[in-house]
Every structure is written in structure tokens, then in C-alpha cells.
Amino acid sequence: MQAPRPPLLEVKRNFELKTTLVKASSRLPLLPGSRLKRGPDQMEDTLEPAKKRTRGLGAVTKIDTSRPRGPLVSTVSQTQGPTAAQKGAKKTGGPRGCTGLGSVLKNQKPVPAAPTQKPVTSTAPVVAGKRPGKRPAWDLKGQVCDLTEDLKRYREKTQRLDQENRGLQEQLKKAQEQAEALGTERNALEGELASVRTQAEEGQQKLETLCARVLELEKCLGAKEGLIQELQKEQLGLQEDKKALATRLEEQERRLQASEAALSSSEAEVVCLRQKTTAQVTLLAEQGDRLHGLEMERRRLHNQLQELKGNIRVFCRVRPVLAGEPAPSPGFLLFPHGPAGPSDLPTRLSLSRSDDRRSTLTGAPAPTTRHDFSFDRVFPPGSKQEEVFEEISMLVQSALDGYPVCIFAYGQTGSGKTFTMEGGPGGDPQLEGLIPRAMRHLFSVAQEMSGQGWTYSFVASYVEIYNETVRDLLATGTRKGQGGECEIRRAGPGSEELTVTNARYVPVSCEREVETLLHLAHQNRAVARTAQNERSSRSHSVFQLQISGEHAARGLQCVAPLNLVDLAGSERLDPGLTLGPGERDRLRETQSINSSLSTLGLVIMALSNKESHVPYRNSKLTYLLQNSLGGSAKMLMFVNISPLEENVSESLNSLRFASKVNQCVIGTAQANKK
């Protein structure tokens, strides 16, 4: 039993069957003298008699053979008919209607072919290599014979053609009947073909739908397969991770067991360490108390040492000879050694001076007068900034311990006061002055003291006193140079602390912040050109640092100011000086400077003599430094002198003033503690 064919194959088979039938109908034999039209049921007879034309007497009659005649049709029927019918039968596979046509064509008898025409004999001479021409006109007998033969031949041919015509008419009738049957069958087949085409179209649409569905399913299948591959890869990775985690878990379990064992042993150690810690805390508290006691003892001894050195100390510093200045004569300045010899620090200074006035009276050379001075320390011209600070570092430490400290730089213009206090230009660390070095020392010691429970804060201010007017050197913007707004006032009712109104008080915590303030103050300070210096400071500059320390654990506090003062030049006025427009300003500045310096000397002398009234208010300088000049303060004065012989008079005046200050004795200093 054969399996049912798919619809698509069935449609294809029916279509081939129809094509075969159409081809078979188109291959019907051509009948002589007739024309088979395209419709199988329509035929028309087109047989026409042959035309004969004769021309003149004795002319040869010509037959029109342009249309196909019997022999040709018979030949076609004999040669093509069976073959076409057999092919049609083989292709169609024997469907209905095709069998009859095939049998008819197969049973049709072939018509005998027409005999070949014999050449006509003639008595006329024939030219060799040429077709024989017409008989001559005079050969009438020959022409009659030729015509008789042609007539006989044509009669035979006509009879033969009549027979063929009758046979063809019979075939035509049979073919028409077959054509009618085939037309009926064709109509039936066309109906079936239409239904088959409809089914084929529906099948094609279904096929296209199914193909689209198949493509969609294939894409979905591909995506699913890719997803499955990814999941398989992920599964493999997870399996590897699982193995790694299992290995790590085993390792962690082993480590946990080891840690538990170590923990048990550590707990025992912790118990032991807690006992030791308790003992250490007790010991630490004892050590802290002892350290605090030692710190207090250190401060007491340090203060005692400073008191033994004197609460008012005077250092003398001689600046070196600068480039372009004449070298002093030998013996002009001498620095005698101390009792211990060259290893002893120099404390004495000898200055030689010749009296020119005596030489004008007698005519003899003026004798040389030697002036000897003794101070707490003398720094020769070759002394470095570091050596100078080492001598005052203990005094700066006293400010951190809670004692008011005031350091002056005194001397004539050009003697090196500003260099001693602020340092040289260019930012060279070797040339740094007392102010930046003192700030570095304070910040460093405060950091060390933080380990003992002390916390320190620093607030800086920088003012100048110019012609008895206080000006803020840290002012910026529109307030810059407005000195009239700054006044010295007490911090509050009943308070002994003095402040400058409208002045900036800047908290500082590092050296860079202090350097910025010094640079700003250097730009704002009042300077002018004088006979001794191209750029001379014409005011007293006061750098104040308010130091506040606190020990929260013990409830201790200490507050003290550190004052670093760069005094203006102390040169005297020349009575014979001719005053010009610029000299009048210098005269007024010099008078104000000398007045304030004289008041400073009077205040120090009053403190030394224990007088009931100390003239602090006679000068803005002494009034501002009131709390740093009394009996509870420590004071140091640097007297700076020039090594040039032309400045010997001013140098002697500065040395004499410093000697008077050095002879003063102020009461015992007391720390400002709370």
C-alpha cells in the first residue's frame, strides 16, 4: 500500500498533467488543405482547388503548389503522428481522453508517397551542361506530346489527390470528434486544475506560514541553545567555585580550630596582661605624677637660673663690615677674653676713640681714649644667627612656662636691629632672625608637651608705633595704613591685659603662617631714606604672641605674652642741620623716636628703683608693653652697634644706654598661672 503523497507533490503532478494535455493537443497532425485552429472544437475546411493558368496556345499549364498537399500531409502524419502520440501518452501516464487520441493516431494508415516525376523525353537537342529549354515553335508535335504526357501525369496526380482528400476528410471528422471529446475533457480538467491551484495556493500559504514558523522556531532554538551553552559554562564555573569554596572552607575550618586553640591560650595571656596593665596603669599614674613634679621642678629651676642671670639682661652685638664700607683701624674694637681664656664666652667690649678737640688746642696728636663695657654676652661681628638664638632660647621657653617675656633690639640706624629680629632677605634658613626661630622653637616644644597632657594655642599680632600713633601692620584692603583707628585699651573692666583696638589678632599653628604675617608686616612698615641707611625703619615694630596653655587632666592653665620689639634708630639730632622739606619730616620722626626711647629708659629706672609711679603712659611704646616690663616679666635687650669709626659717637651713646639698663635690677618674676 503506497503512502499518501503530500499536497504540494499532488499539485505539482496535476500541473504537469495539464501541461502534457495542452502539448498533446498542440501536436495534432496537420491536414492537407485544412487549418486546425487553436480551439480543439473549432475546425474549418481550407481545402482549395489548385489553380491552373495557361498562356497562349501550346503553353505548359502550371499548378500552384504553394500550399501543402497530400503527400506532404501523409508524410507528416506518418513520421510525426505516432511519435507525438506516444510521447503524450508516456508523459500523461494514461489519463482519460488521451487514450482515444493516441489510438486514433496510431491506427491511422500512412498514405503512400507520390511517385517521383519522370523527366520528359524530347527530340530536341540538349546542350551539354544546361537544362533543356523549350521546344522550338516549329516543333508542334513535340509540344503536343509533352502536353499529353503532362496531362496524363496531372490526371493521375489529381486522382491520387482526390483519394488523399477523402482519407483526410475522414480523418478530419474523426479528429473533430476527438477534439470535441478533448474539449469536454479539457473543461473538466481545467475545473480540476482550478481547484488544484486553489488547493496549491492554500498549501503554499500554509507552507510559507509553516516556513516562517520553522524559521522562528529555529531562531528560538538557537537562542535556547546559546543560553543552554552559557548556563552550562556558568554551571562549570559554579562547580569550580564550589570546589574552591569547599577547599577554602576546609582551610578556614582548620584555621578556626587553630584560632580557637590560640584564643584559649590568648585568653589566659589576656588575663595575665590585664593584671600587668593594671600594674602598668598604676605605675604610669605614678610616673605621670613624678613627671609632672619634675616638669614643675624644671620650670622652677629654669626660672631660678634666669633670675640668677637677671630679669633684665643686655646683650651686645656688633654687625660685620659690609661690602663697600671702609675697614676699621686695628684696635678700634676689641673683645677681651673672659677669666677662663679663649674658651670663655665673650662678655666685654673695648672701644677706642681719639679726642679731636684736644689736638686743636695744643697741636699735639690727640690721645686715644678707651671705653670698656661689660654685658651679659657680647657677640663679635662673625657671630651667626643660630648662636644668637641659642642664648635666648631659654628665655623663649620661659614664655611657654607662663612668664611674660620682652626682647628689644636697640641701636642706631643701620646697626642690624631688623636683621637680628627678622633675618635677612632671600629666605635663607641660615639668616633667619629671632622671630621665625622663636616661633619654630615654641611650636616644637608645644608638640612635645602635648604628650604630657598640655595643649597650647598661639595668637599673633604685629603693630608699629609711628610718631606716637599705633598702626596695624597686618591690615589689608581699605584698612591698610589707617593708624588713627587703633588705640590701646584694656581687654575688659578690671582686666590687666592690654589690647589694640581694630588690630588683627591671627591664630597661628605653623611656621608658614608666621612667615606670611612677617612678609605682610614688612611691606606695611613705615621706612624712609636717612643719612645712615638707604631704607631705615622710622617706627617701633612690636610682634606680640599670646601663648595659652592648658592641662585639662590637672586643671592647670598658663597665659603669657611674648613680645619681640624692633626699636627705631636711636641717632641724635645734629643742631647745625639745615632743614629742608624732607628733613622736617625726618626731624619730627627722630624727635618722636628719641622721646619714646627716653621714656623706656625712665620706666626701666623707675622699676629698678622701686618707685611708686612708673611713667608707662608717657609713651605709647611703654604703655603697650606695660605687662611685659614689670616685676613679673623677663626682659632682654640687644644693643646693636656699627663697626665703623665714623659711627663711634652713636655707638658710645648706645653702649652707655645699654649699660644703664644692665645695671637695673627688677624684682623676682612670677608665672601667670591660674
**Bind-site residues for ATP:** 411-418
Do the Cβ atoms of 406 and 395 come closer than 8 Å? no
Residues 597 and 618: beta-carbon distance below 8 Å: no
Q: What are phi and psi of 157, to 5 degrees?
A: -65, -35
What is the amino acid identity at position 499? Answer: T
State the residue for C-alpha cell 644693643: 639
Q: 622 and 596 in contact (C-beta within 8 Å)?
A: yes
As a whole number of angstroms, the distance between CA 658 and CA 154 comes to: 180
In the annotated binding site, the residues are 411-418
Distance between start and end Cα atoms, the chain: 127
For 611: left if phi > 0, alpha if psi spans -120 to 50, otherwise beta; the answer is: beta
d(CA 615, CA 622): 8
Residue 97 has which C-alpha cell? 481522453
CA dihedral of residues 281, 283, 285, 290 (deg, nearest 10): -160
Give yes or no for a contact between 410 and 565, defined as CB atoms under 8 angstroms apart. Answer: no
Q: What are phi and psi of 628, to 5 degrees?
A: -105, 5
**What's the CA gap between 460 and 472, in Å, rounded?**
12
Helix (H), strand (E) at residue 405: strand 405-411
474 within 8 A of 542, measured Cβ to Cβ: no
Residues in the chain: 674
Contacting residues for 661 by C-beta, under 8 A, at least 6 apart: 312, 314, 601, 604, 637
Q: Tell me if 500 sits within 8 A of 470, measured CB to CB.
A: yes
CA separation, residue 116 to residues 79, 119, 157, 526, 560 (Å)? 19, 9, 11, 156, 162
Rounded distance between C-alpha atoms, residue 409 and residue 562, angstroms: 14
Residue 670's alpha-carbon distances to 307, 555, 559, in angstroms, are 11, 19, 12
- Secondary element (H or E) of residue 277: helix 140-309
